[in-house]
Amino acid sequence: LPLTYIQYIDNCYGENFMPDEIYLGAVDIGGTKVTASISNRKGFLTRVYQKTRKEGKNTALPEQIIFLLENASNRAGLSLKDIYGLGISSCSPFSFRDNFCYLKSANICGGLAKERGLIPNDWTEIPIDRELKPYFPRLEIENDCISAAIAERQFGAGRGEDNMAYVTWSTGIGAGAFVNGRLLTGKNRNAVHIGHTFISFDEENSPLCGCGDYGHLEAFSAGPAIARDYGLIAADTAVDTKQVFEKYSQGDPGAIKVIERVAKIFAKGLANLTILLDIKVLILGGSIINDWEILEPLVKKEFFKCFPPLTEGVEFRLSGLSKYLGDMAGLCLIMPDEWISLWQKTKPWEKELETIVL
Ligand SMILES: [Zn+2]
């Protein structure tokens, strides 16, 4: 496997590595919440989460990560200095300067948001790892879809697949992919950001994307689009979207129209991705996929209509790590080989773990 992070782990731990004595932290940064978990080689020990901090200085989020990891460590009878490595799976995009990663998400940085005033800060970036590096001998960060693709390929629905993509369909749309067994990353580790690819050039009739552009896949077919197109003012996207699917099941003509349209557009987005990268397996995750039973026939019908020589035989699979995908995505960035083979056998993510809301 030409996966440099595994080689990195080997170099880092060395031959005298004693697996029983190390603890690893995983953090999943989302636009609405931040989750932190602590693991040893046998599995997860503790897991806590909190609403994403968006007030104060632009170091508020890394400070929150320290707070959450400290809290999770204490609950496991440890302290922060017992955490050897930290893997962060984060919403994005990123920008890299001087070996540090800066988070430039319009869902967290008020200075980047197009609808001003909804996010109570004027940040244009967050120095995500600069503040954290002094605390951890090992620190790795990837965007949430790239790290989810790694986790799915290593532990989930993508085991053994060399040409696969993980696609999230949620408040946003994003993807991470392996081609010929190689992880695609890019100059700022933002590769395969399909949510912000153009699917329409008719600006006047395209909804505004969270990134400020018109014509993007995400603005047409992510969760908020479903609520919006049905005429709901998105107060709580998850609740509103769920409501539209319920209406669909009851035979509501408006809901049927919206869901069918959105499924069709999302399918075209998946086709774009498949055609560009010659993908064999598409692994789907994210909150919208909870209604896959409704969406599956609609998405597949549209998808396989797209230039058959390039789309036929493509397999659709659901995430194999489900609600622990974010934790596994962070953790797999720093896992030593010894843990990987053990976790593949014992599947600790299938065990129920109490999650504390702080
Ligand atoms: Zn966009």
Q: Render pLDDT for 176-208 as a digit per residue (tens, 0 to 9).
A: 999 999 999 999 999 999 999 999 999 899 999
Q: Ligand 1 centroid to 291 CA: how many Å?
A: 24
Q: Ligand 1 centroid to 152 CA: how many Å?
A: 25
* pLDDT given for residue 100 in this prediction: 93
- Over range 114-119, report the average pLDDT: 71
Q: Render pLDDT for 83-109 as a digit per residue (tens, 0 to 9).
A: 989 999 999 999 999 889 999 998 899
Q: Ligand 1 centroid to 30 CA: how many Å?
A: 17
Where does the pLDDT of residue 4 fall: very low under 50, low under 70, confident under 90, or very high at 90 and above? very low
Q: Render pLDDT for 40-96 as a digit per residue (tens, 0 to 9).
A: 989 999 999 999 999 999 999 999 999 999 999 999 999 998 898 999 999 999 999
* pLDDT given for residue 2 in this prediction: 37
Q: Ligand 1 centroid to 220 CA: how many Å?
A: 10
Higher pLDDT pick, 332 / 16: 332
Q: Ligand 1 centroid to 216 CA: how many Å?
A: 5
164 Cβ neighbours under 8 A, 6+ residues apart? 149, 152, 153, 158, 177, 178, 279, 280, 281, 282, 283
Q: Ligand 1 centroid to 194 CA: how many Å?
A: 9
Q: Across the beta sheet with 315-318, what order do the strands follow?
A: 182-183, 173-179, 164-169, 281-285, 315-318
Q: Ligand 1 centroid to 219 CA: how many Å?
A: 7
Q: How far is 153 from 231, CA to CA, in rounded Å?
A: 38
Q: Ligand 1 centroid to 149 CA: how many Å?
A: 21
Q: Ligand 1 centroid to 211 CA: how many Å?
A: 4
Q: Ligand 1 centroid to 72 CA: how many Å?
A: 35
Q: Ligand 1 centroid to 266 CA: how many Å?
A: 14
Q: Render pLDDT for 301-310 as a digit per residue (tens, 0 to 9).
A: 999 999 999 9
Q: Ligand 1 centroid to 294 CA: how many Å?
A: 26
- Over range 110-124, report the average pLDDT: 83
Q: Which residues surround ligand 1, an ion (CB under 5 A)?
A: 196, 209, 211, 213, 216
Does residue 142 contact residue 27 with C-beta atoms inside 8 Å?
A: no
196 Cβ neighbours under 8 A, 6+ residues apart? 209, 211, 213, 216, 217, 218
Query: What percentage of the chain exceeds 70 in pLDDT?
Result: 92
Where does the pLDDT of residue 357 fall: very low under 50, low under 70, confident under 90, or very high at 90 and above? very high
* pLDDT given for residue 14 in this prediction: 56
Q: Render pLDDT for 245-299 as a digit per residue (tens, 0 to 9).
A: 999 999 999 999 999 999 999 999 999 999 999 999 999 999 999 999 999 999 9
Q: Ligand 1 centroid to 156 CA: how many Å?
A: 29
Where does the pLDDT of residue 1 fall: very low under 50, low under 70, confident under 90, or very high at 90 and above? very low
6 is written with which tokens? 């595994």
Strands 83-90 and 138-143: parallel
Q: Ligand 1 centroid to 173 CA: how many Å?
A: 10
Q: Ligand 1 centroid to 101 CA: how many Å?
A: 21
Strands 126-127 and 182-183: unpaired
The dihedral sign for the CA sequence 347, 350, 356, 358: positive
